[in-house]
Structure 1
């Protein structure tokens, strides 16, 4: 690295940390997830408002690859946390309701997104036409499990029936969305030799039947954090490197390493590892990802066609998620209020959507313009959750639902 690159890298990191922290705190004061403010920080520093000249001066071209590298590490650590926090008990505990709501909340937006892709491809030609259609359907189907969990916690809804069902459905949605994205990566070639994809099942078998038992043995002993943390970091990075090499993208490796992380008898250790890694990641690396993602958003030249495409994307994303989840919930005899609250929560996309969009941009599934439109959709669908929940599921209703859960059940 040259002196110029080092100076601007450190300067940019300082700007990113301060601005992301400030706008994230402002978003929380406005009853929004911090991710909204952090993404807007990236958009503000991008070419949309001040033009490419300002952005290029603050974030020189020769410095951006280093920022992108740090952003990738942040995404890998985040995906490990998503996998580690995915409670498999949730997937077993809700039965028919979770399966039908999850299925409908993916099937309808996927169908609408795929249909919309057939129109959008006319203005945004893509050599991987099938991959483009599947990718847009998958992008419409996402629910951000971590952001949703934070919303439920902030609104004290985690212990309610609606909150529990929403977490379950979001977990299933995330798993299915990652599977759909894996298919898109395979169809697009992923930048690797196609024969390497055949190693995917081998990698999965090694993770389940070799790595997971080894991790159980390693963490069964009472080891200090100075030993545990390096093992976890090295493991998630090696797993991400393996999936990137075989053509599946590093996010899948990091996620699966988190998913096989031992749970039985290691609750305190797992929470400590996630807390330490999460603090540094949320303070520096993820804000870098938000800024890098925002710098690629350029809405300065949006015209009538762009506005129409944005409206169509919002209708497909919001209508598909809300309509699918609401209809399935009502068919399972949930009240109109509970079904509407559940459908609103399922529309939360947040950081998970941004990661998928970044992968799509990297694979060539999205051009710069359509990427910008999809980022706006991710921000809007995440920001609308708070105001709608205040109308549909106010604090007084939350208190009543919590009391129902706490009340002793009558004897059989």
Structure 2
């Protein structure tokens, strides 16, 4: 790197971190998740405003590959944290309602998204039509577990019956969505001439779940209460990076390896260790690495040429995304005898897409499933569906109060959702 490149990189990163923090704080003041402001910060620096003059001045073209590398690390760390937070106990504690709501809220938007892809194919279709149709179905089916958890925590609902069910549904959605996306990546031929490597994905998954995970559990049992020493932290970082590299080599995407390594870390006896890992990695990721990802994602969003046809496509995308998720989740909740207002609130929460959707969209753009214009429209959909959750919840349930405390009951059959004053730990922004 030259001196000028170094200066440009450092000053650009500083501006990016401050802008993301400023707009994130503004979003929180307006009752929105911070991720809304951070995404808008990335879009503001992209070509949508002033034809990219801001980004060209702050971030010359020759340093953007460096930003892409930082963004990749940020996404890998974020996916690791998502896997670290994923807890099967949530699903077991929610009864039968979570699996049925999750499947319904994935199948309906998936089918509608695939049907919409057939309509959009003429203007936005890529070379691999099958991959395009499947990818659009997956993109419509996403629910962002970390953003949903943050919304519930901010409203004091994380330990209410409705909150428990919503978290369980979102955790199932996360896992199903990643498996579906991995399947699309595998069958799309994106691995190039080394497609045979994809056959090793199954033994790799089995080895991680049935060899590495028990080994780590036995190690944790022998060591007692593990502390986050520099050596332990270095081993966790190395495992995260190696697992990411392994799935990338297999022809999948590095996000799957990062997520999987977070899932296989033992849960029992390591609560303090996992909390410390989350805090240490989460602060660096949320303050520096994820704003870089938002910038890189925003640089690819160009709405400056949006015309009437594009607005029509955006309207259809929003209709399918919101309607598919809402109807699927609402219908399943009602079939499980959940009250109408709670069913509507649950369906609203399942519509939050946030950062998880951005990661999926960037995978689609990188692998050629989406073109530039459709990617931009889908990013708008991700922002809108996340931003609408808070106001809709307030309209459905009212503003949370500190006096509305919930009991331990996790049954969905309650008259009205209560609000817990105790926030959930470890939820990502």
**TM-score of the alignment, normalized to the shorter chain, above 0.5:** yes
Distance apart, 1:399 and its partner CA: 5.3
Correspondence list, 1:151-190, <5 A = 151-190=151-190
User: Match for residue 238 of structure 1?
Assistant: 242
Cα deviations by residue, 1:117-172 (Å, 9 ceiling, x for unpaired): 00111101311101000000000000000000010000011111111110000001
- In 2, the alpha carbon distance for the partners of 1:130 and 1:399 equals 52
Distance apart, 1:44 and its partner CA: 0.7
Cα deviations by residue, 1:23-56 (Å, 9 ceiling, x for unpaired): 0000000000000000000111111111134322
Q: Which SS does the other structure have where 1:69 is aligned?
A: helix
User: Match for residue 207 of structure 1?
Assistant: 208
Distance apart, 1:210 and its partner CA: 2.6
8 Å contact kept, 2:71–2:296 = yes
8 Å contact kept, 1:242–1:250 = yes
Identify which of 359, 367, 389 aligns with 1:363: 367
User: Match for residue 81 of structure 1?
Assistant: 81
Distance apart, 1:58 and its partner CA: 1.9
User: Match for residue 381 of structure 1?
Assistant: 385
For structure 2, the residue ranges without an aligned partner over 5 or more in a row are 411-429
Distance apart, 1:218 and its partner CA: 4.2
Q: Does 1:142 align with 2:142?
A: yes
Cα deviations by residue, 1:164-197 (Å, 9 ceiling, x for unpaired): 1100000011111111111111122233411000
- In 2, the alpha carbon distance for the partners of 1:219 and 1:363 equals 39
User: Match for residue 36 of structure 2?
Assistant: 36
Higher helix share: 1
- In 2, the alpha carbon distance for the partners of 1:47 and 1:111 equals 33
Correspondence list, 1:27-66, <5 A = 27-66=27-66
8 Å contact kept, 1:161–1:401 = no
- In 2, the alpha carbon distance for the partners of 1:378 and 1:251 equals 19
Distance apart, 1:326 and its partner CA: 0.6
Alpha-carbon spacing, 1:398–1:170, altered in 2? closer, same or farther (3 Å) = farther
Cα deviations by residue, 1:273-330 (Å, 9 ceiling, x for unpaired): 1111101111100110011111111000001110000000000000000011011111
User: Match for residue 409 of structure 1?
Assistant: none
User: Match for residue 268 of structure 1?
Assistant: 272
Q: Which SS does the other structure have where 2:342 is aligned?
A: helix
User: Match for residue 15 of structure 2?
Assistant: 15
Q: How many residues align?
A: 406
- In 1, the alpha carbon distance for the partners of 2:408 and 2:254 equals 43
8 Å contact kept, 1:190–1:249 = no
Q: Following superposition, which runs of at least 4 residues in structure 1 exceed 4 angstroms of deviation?
A: 396-401, 403-406
- In 2, the alpha carbon distance for the partners of 1:54 and 1:17 equals 15
- In 2, the alpha carbon distance for the partners of 1:98 and 1:194 equals 36
- In 2, the alpha carbon distance for the partners of 1:396 and 1:383 equals 18
Distance apart, 1:395 and its partner CA: 3.4
8 Å contact kept, 2:80–2:260 = yes
Cα deviations by residue, 1:360-403 (Å, 9 ceiling, x for unpaired): 00000011110000000000000000000001011368955725
8 Å contact kept, 1:98–1:168 = yes
Distance apart, 1:5 and its partner CA: 1.8
User: Match for residue 216 of structure 1?
Assistant: 217
For structure 1, the residue ranges without an aligned partner over 5 or more in a row are 407-412
Q: Which SS does the other structure have where 2:61 is aligned?
A: coil
- In 2, the alpha carbon distance for the partners of 1:224 and 1:307 equals 50
TM-score if structure 1 supplies the norm length? 0.95
Q: Which SS does the other structure have where 1:299 is aligned?
A: coil
- In 2, the alpha carbon distance for the partners of 1:262 and 1:404 equals 26
8 Å contact kept, 1:157–1:398 = no
Distance apart, 1:3 and its partner CA: 2.0
User: Match for residue 336 of structure 1?
Assistant: 340
Stretch moving more, 141-150 or 224-233: 224-233
Distance apart, 1:217 and its partner CA: 4.2
- In 2, the alpha carbon distance for the partners of 1:195 and 1:88 equals 32
